[in-house]
């Protein structure tokens, strides 16, 4: 894994433009088949640490890397379906470098050492790639900005096995992936006939309902409709609760009136 160093010479010579140029060069390396993403991550941490980048700059920095890939392959660059995901990962590295109470550079190097050690273990417990493992460490450290993760904590974090999804979660995950694929194919070629795929997606959605699950909202329209339905459901529940409370109050009042009537009757006798 790539590690970072902090020396005065590098500090004096590094600029935002030089970082972006280096990002594009690493993108070209990736386009040649080299595993340059860890080096790109290291550079993003460095940029955040030295004040050349903030979270809002993640798109620009990852964009330089992506444009380098496109240039090496001789194609015109355009944002792909995964662009926002990769920008989000880059943002985590910038945030890690910019932490005030934690040395992000030291954490990056510490995590690199742990990842290398685990990767060299014949029984490597990591289920993530080295790059995605580093993303996880960055994300977790950013979420705990006032206390450094130790090497042991990082190893435990990366060695932890994900919980097995239950059956309904697996079907919902399939629905999400199929929906994302359909959306991507439509964007890439709007004339492509996706009828069979869309029918399959509807079938998976019906399977989710059959298993008493909730079909997740994918599109903006779906999310807006789901939000509206949730509001209506809350209102209906509130109305039902109010009606129940009123019915209980009426029943209590009726019972009290009946008791008072009995007492008056007994007194009259």
* pTM of the predicted model as reported, rounded to 2 decimal places: 0.60
Instruction: Report the candidate in 242, 4, 215, 213 with the shortest Cα–Cα distance to residue 108.
Output: 4
37-49 and 83-98 helices cross at what angle (nearest 10)? 40
| Across 77-81, 107-111, 125-129, least confident range | 77-81
**Residue-range domain boundaries for the chain:** 8-159, 167-210, 231-269
In the block, tokens 């096995």 appear at 161
pLDDT tens digits, 54-107: 999 999 999 999 999 999 989 888 877 678 889 999 999 999 999 999 999 999
Residue 137: what pLDDT? 95
139-146 long-range contacts, CB within 8 A, separation 24+: 139/92, 141/96, 141/99, 141/102, 141/104, 141/107, 142/92, 142/95, 142/96, 142/99, 145/99, 145/100, 145/101, 145/102, 146/101, 146/102
Give the percent of the chain with pLDDT over 90.
Answer: 42
The answer to whether 145 touches 100, Cβ cutoff 8 Å, is yes
| Across 1-15, 233-247, 249-263, least confident range | 1-15
pLDDT tens digits, 194-251: 788 888 888 888 888 777 788 887 765 555 545 555 655 666 666 667 776 777 777 6
| CA distance readout (Å), 22 to 26, 148, 192, 196, 206 | 6, 29, 38, 45, 49
Residue 148: what pLDDT? 96
Cβ neighbors of 257 (< 8 A, separation 6 or more) are none
Residue 165: what pLDDT? 64
| CA separation for the pair 158, 110 (Å, rounded) | 13
| Across 21-30, 71-80, 248-257, least confident range | 248-257
The answer to whether 142 touches 92, Cβ cutoff 8 Å, is yes
Burial 10-22 (b: 16+ CB within 10 A, else e): eeeebeeeebbeb
The answer to whether 217 touches 223, Cβ cutoff 8 Å, is yes
For 172-185, what is the mean pLDDT? 84
Q: What's the whole-number average pLDDT of the chain? A: 82
CA max distance for the chain: 108
| CA separation for the pair 144, 157 (Å, rounded) | 13
The answer to whether 205 touches 179, Cβ cutoff 8 Å, is no
Highest mean predicted confidence (pLDDT) among 183-192, 197-206, 215-224, 252-261: 197-206
| Across 10-19, 91-100, 143-152, least confident range | 10-19
Residue 231: what pLDDT? 52
Structure tokens at 70: 């496109």
Instruction: Report the candidate in 163, 107, 165 with the shortest Cα–Cα distance to residue 136.
Output: 107
């Amino acid at each position: 894994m790539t590690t970072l160093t902090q020396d005065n010479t590098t500090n004096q010579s590094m600029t935002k433009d030089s970082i972006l140029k280096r990002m594009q060069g690493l993108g070209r390396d990736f386009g040649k088949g080299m595993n340059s993403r860890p080096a790109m991550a290291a550079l993003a941490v460095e940029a955040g640490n030295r004040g050349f980048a903030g979270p809002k700059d993640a798109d620009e920095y990852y964009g330089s890397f992506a444009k380098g890939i496109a240039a090496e392959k001789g194609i015109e660059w355009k944002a792909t379906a995964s662009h926002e995901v990769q920008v989000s990962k880059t943002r985590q590295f910038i945030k890690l470098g910019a932490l005030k109470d934690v040395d992000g550079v030291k954490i990056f190097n510490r995590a690199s050492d742990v990842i290398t050690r685990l990767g060299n273990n014949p029984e490597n417990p990591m289920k993530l790639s080295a790059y995605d493992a580093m993303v996880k460490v960055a994300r977790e450290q950013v979420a705990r900005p006032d206390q450094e993760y130790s090497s042991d904590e990082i190893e435990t974090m990366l060695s932890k096995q994900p919980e097995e999804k239950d059956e309904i979660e697996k079907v919902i995950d399939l629905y999400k992936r199929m929906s994302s694929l359909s959306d991507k194919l439509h964007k890439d070629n709007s004339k492509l006939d996706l009828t069979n795929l869309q029918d399959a997606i509807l079938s998976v959605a019906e399977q989710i309902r059959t298993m008493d699950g909730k079909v997740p909202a994918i599109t903006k329209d779906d999310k807006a409709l789901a939000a509206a339905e949730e509001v209506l459901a809350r209102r209906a529940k509130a109305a039902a609760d109010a009606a129940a409370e009123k019915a209980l109050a009426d029943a209590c009042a009726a019972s009290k009136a009946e008791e008072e009537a009995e007492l008056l009757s007994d007194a009259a006798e």
